[in-house]
Chains A and B, each alone.
Chain A
Amino acid sequence: QKEVEQDPGPLSVPEGAIVSLNCTYSNSAFQYFMWYRQYSRKGPELLMYTYSSGNKEDGRFTAQVDKSSKYISLFIRDSQPSDSATYLCAMSEEYGGSQGNLIFGKGTKLSVKP
């Protein structure tokens, strides 16, 4: 079963807050985990890309993967109004073919208020 669960929100936070976005999944074969940011009426933009378990940091963004719990997170520090967007998690298995296709969560809509 290839299912990814993501709370759709909306999530509203004040500027400067730490934001935590999460996804859970059921397929233990997933190895690659991605976060995309999508502004209204635009295409998704790849934000973070991680392999297997662990943390990855890029500026104000930190991605965490806990494969034992089948749980991934994206943290945004010092959130800015420009971070207001929908955040999509996506994941795929190791190998190519249909198993290598991305499975997306439904997205969490984030609003950062000045």
Chain B
Amino acid sequence: GAGVSQSPSNKVTEKGKDVELRCDPISGHTALYWYRQRLGQGLEFLIYFQGNSAPDKSGLPSDRFSAERTGESVSTLTIQRTQQEDSAVYLCASSPHTVAGTEAFFGQGTRLTVV
């Protein structure tokens, strides 16, 4: 595909259920990021993957949140026992790893609503 693909685009779940959000980065991009954006607010960093290095998990808000990435391909963000405050748009981005500075390409996000 030409860009970062996220699925599903919308997800409604009941409080207490687990959800999995998927991100397909641009082929060849070694870096992958997850962000959360609550309604009317800015982007909150969640986690960052770079190649085979240990991921930067410093933004994960609680142990209910986890993410995995298989090599340099798809990533899955899992939220366990969802709460209403988890309602937000979850954005994924990928970028190549170059010396000269580079851009991150964002997907359109998954809108999660916890009812």
Q: Do A and B bind each other?
A: no
